[in-house]
Amino acid sequence: MSQNNYKTQSEKYEFISGQHGGYYRHNFIDHAYLYNLYFPPEAIFTNLKDQIHDLVLNYPMAQNALAGLIGKIIDQPAERIVVGNGAAELIKIVSGHISGKLIVPVPSFNEYANAAPSGQVIEFPLEFPSFQLDVNKFAAKAIRVKADVAVVVTPNNPTSMLVPKPDLIWLAKKLETHDCMLIIDESFLDFTENPDQISLEQEIENYPNMVIFKSMSKAYGICGLRIGYMLTANSKFAEAIRNGVHIWNINGFAEEFLRLLPDYKQEFIESCKQVRIDRNNLYKKLCDIEGMTVFKPDANFIFCRLPDNVQSAPEITKKLFIEYNMYIKDCVGKTQPDSKRYLRIASRTEAENCKLVAALIDVMDLKN
């Protein structure tokens, strides 16, 4: 798509804010999408380039072999895994075809609710203004409405806050007695301080109603390859999801990436460390803005409430784009009170984060 779709920066903003990607074609600084800027290493790209003929000319592998590749990465048996064309494909299958009634805390990743038929989703408001999940109340509501699938995103999007592991284990056990599956979306978990201790992947066999969803786009920085997976020890649920994906749902480039990944484990761990350093520095800088409420982040992005004396989030977001060519997300599209006062800011490099904070202070008309 050429840049001729807009004549002014304002028109460009209107165009971009209606898109779901392809941002790199439009020359602006993207503090909206949430991915790891430090992975994959160049060697992976070289490898893909070297094999481009084979990858383009041949059919990729089917589901059982792909599950084996993911299994090698996460140290789990293939029969517990279903590989999706991004987690979005798997979400669509669960929300659109498997669940009779799904309950999800809000604000959250919108796709779980968007992919479900109307009337089959219950939105459970997070505690306001802390945005914490009260698992007791959530479980009670899930049981009351007879939900058969409950979803918890941890760290959550847009709040960037983790749900404590003991809370999730308690929730799984509570819901199990009511025939409700618990989907835990760990897509941003690699950016937390101790991901190995927080993830439930290695304990999945202890909880027959627990399912873990993981988008690999975020942590591995591969949005364009479209890979996500589901992990569960519940063979009946895994089979139902598996039946929903078509025979070649993953392309050859994505398959080859999964083959290469085990050789780059250390690089991946280091890349996530760097993301955490940048994010923590950005958090401190945002906290220094007078009147700004900044929620302590566990993921690679930061959720904040604007000072009361500045314009609304949509106005600030637009102004930032028009004047500085930087794009952040307002939270107007999220189900939450006062959504027009909240922003979600993706952390980038230290230099870019510094420029963003200075620009934000300027467009808010605050003289810090």
Q: Which helix (DSSP H) or strand (DSSP E) does residue 211 occupy?
A: strand 210-215
Q: How much is the pLDDT for 4?
A: 58
Q: How much is the pLDDT for 5?
A: 74
Domain that holds residue 12: 3-40+266-363
Looking at 221, 248, 263, which one is the last position of a domain?
263
| 57 in the same domain as 17 | no
Q: Which helix (DSSP H) or strand (DSSP E) does residue 30 occupy?
A: strand 29-30
Regarding beta strands 326-327 and 228-232, do their DSSP bridges make them parallel or antiparallel, or are they unpaired? unpaired
| Residue 136 three-state SS | helix
Q: What is the CATH number of the domain that holds 212?
A: 3.40.640.10
Identify whether 128 is part of a domain. yes
| 206 in the same domain as 282 | no
| Residue 28 three-state SS | coil
Q: What is the CATH number of the domain that holds 285?
A: 3.90.1150.10
| 319 in the same domain as 224 | no
Amino acid code (one letter) for 356: L
Give the Cα separation of 183 and 248 in Å (integer). Answer: 25
| 186 in the same domain as 121 | yes
Identify whether 299 is part of a domain. yes
Looking at 206, 232, 263, which one is the last position of a domain?
263
Identify whether 250 is part of a domain. yes
Identify whether 176 is part of a domain. yes
Give the Cα separation of 249 and 329 in Å (integer). Answer: 30
Bridge partners of 343, per DSSP, are 304, 330
Identify whether 368 is part of a domain. no
| 159 in the same domain as 205 | yes
Q: How much is the pLDDT for 267?
A: 98
| 272 in the same domain as 226 | no
Bridge partners of 84, per DSSP, are 228
Q: Chunked in runs of 10, what are the mean pLDDT values of the chain (368 residues)? A: 74 92 94 96 98 98 96 98 97 96 97 94 97 98 98 98 98 98 98 96 98 97 97 97 95 98 98 98 98 98 97 97 97 94 98 98 81
Give the Cα separation of 275 and 348 in Å (integer). Answer: 8
| 225 in the same domain as 77 | yes
CB 28 within 8 A of CB 16: yes
Looking at 195, 228, 263, which one is the last position of a domain?
263
Identify whether 292 is part of a domain. yes
Number of structural domains the chain divides into: 2
| 302 in the same domain as 238 | no
| 54 in the same domain as 21 | no
Regarding beta strands 102-106 and 293-294, do their DSSP bridges make them parallel or antiparallel, or are they unpaired? unpaired
Identify whether 313 is part of a domain. yes
| 101 in the same domain as 208 | yes
Give the Cα separation of 225 and 306 in Å (integer). Answer: 35
Give the Cα separation of 55 and 75 in Å (integer). Answer: 26
| 168 in the same domain as 90 | yes
| 283 in the same domain as 144 | no
Identify whether 354 is part of a domain. yes
